[in-house]
Structure 1
C-alpha cells in the first residue's frame, strides 16, 4: 500500500493530538493526587459541608426528658450535704414555680425528711376547690383534736368521724356561695426535717345566711409519709357557734337523733350509782337487772 505525503502528514498530526490528550489526562490525575497529599483535609471537605449541613438541619432535635441542671449539679460526683444533687448533674426534684400568693417561707428547702413548707402550703390551698384531697392528705386513722367548747369540739379517732361530725358540718354552711370560699395560709412554722409543723390558716367565705365569714385557725400537725397523722386545731369558738346558730335548723339536739350516749354538758356526769339506787317499782321492789 502506498502512502501519499499528505496522508503521512495527517497521520502525524493525529498521533500528536492523541499523545497531547493522553498527557493532559495523566497530568489531571497526577494533579489531583498531589492535592490530596499536600492540602489539609479540612479544605477538601469544604465542598461536602453544604450537603452535610442541610442533611443535619432536616433531622429533628430531640427534646430533653430529664430535669435541668442546677447550680452546683455538675455531674462531678461530689454531693453537697443537704443539697439536691446526686452527683450526676441533674436535679431530682425541679423547683416548682407556683406563685403561692407571694408567701414568704421560713424554710424554702425541698430536701426534707418529712414535708416541705411549700407542700404544706399547697395542701391547704388545694382544699379550697377540691375537698376530696383531704382523704389522702390526712391519714384514715388520724388522731384529731378540735380544741374548745362548741358543737364540733372534741377528740376524733379517725378521719371519717372528724369529717362527718365536724368538717362537713361546717362546710355545708357555705354551699350556697361555694365559689366565694377561700383558704389562705398565713404562716407556716417547722416541717421539712421536723415531724411537727404549725400552720395559721385564714378561711373566708359567704355563708348560706348571706353573712361574711372570716376566721384564722391554727393547726398543729404531725407528719408521716406525706400525711397528717396527728392534728390539734384551735378555732374561733364564738364565730363557729354564731355560724352554726344562723345556718342550722338545730344544733346538737333534734327529734331525729337517737340518744344512746351521755351528753351531760359542761357540768359533767352525775353519780350514776346513786341514781340507779333510787330506781325501782312503786311498791319498793328493785329492778332485777
Structure 2
C-alpha cells in the first residue's frame, strides 16, 4: 500500500525470502531490503506518485530470513482503485540472484587478473625482450642454416608469447582505466591503424582492397579514443591475420544509430566461421 506495507504477495516471494506463506503480509517491504537500496526505492515510488513515469525498473537487494542476499529485478507501477485514485504500488519481481552472483564472481576474477598483470608486467616483459634480442643477434651471426632456422623458430614462438602477454595487458588496461571522452577524427584514426597493421607485417597498405566509409555529417566523433582504438585494431588485425593481406576485400562502415550510439560495421570476404557453430561462438 501507500505506506509500503505488503498487502498481497505470492508463495514464491515468501519462499525466496525464506518465509512461510502469508508471513510477510503487513510487513513494510523496505524492512526486507538491504539498507543501501531503501532510499532509491522510496525515491522511485515518489516519482511514480508525482506522475513523472508510468512505471520504473530497478534492481533491489533483499535480505532473507537467514541473512542471505537475494537480488530482484523489479518493475514498479501505481496501483489504482476504481476511481483512479492511487492506493498502493504494484511490483513485478524477477529473481536474478544466480546471474548476479556469476557477475560478481567474474568481476572478482577480472580484478585479480588485472592486479596480477599490473604487478608482473615488468617482470614478464623483460625476459621476452631479452629473448627476442638474443634471437635477433643469433640470426645475424649464425652461419649454419640449421642454427639460423632454430633462432627463427625461437623468435616466432617468443613473438606469439608476447602477443598473448599483450592481450592480458589489454584486460588490465580496460579494467583499471576510467572512460575518457574526447572528440577526434575517426577516419584519420582508422587509416592510421590500417597503415600500422600493414607496416608491422611488412605489407603495403596501398596494395590492399580496403575501403573506409564514414556515413556521418562529420568525421569527428566523441568517445573514449584509447578503447575504440584497441577495438578497431584487434578486429582489423584478426580479419587479415587469417586471410590474405592483398586478396581480402575489407570494408569498415561507420553510421550513427541515435544521439548516443554509433555503429561500426566490419566486413570481409574471408572464409569466416561455419554457420552451424555460430551459436557456440
Fold conserved between structures, TM > 0.5:
no
| Larger Rg over CA atoms | 1
More helix by share: 2
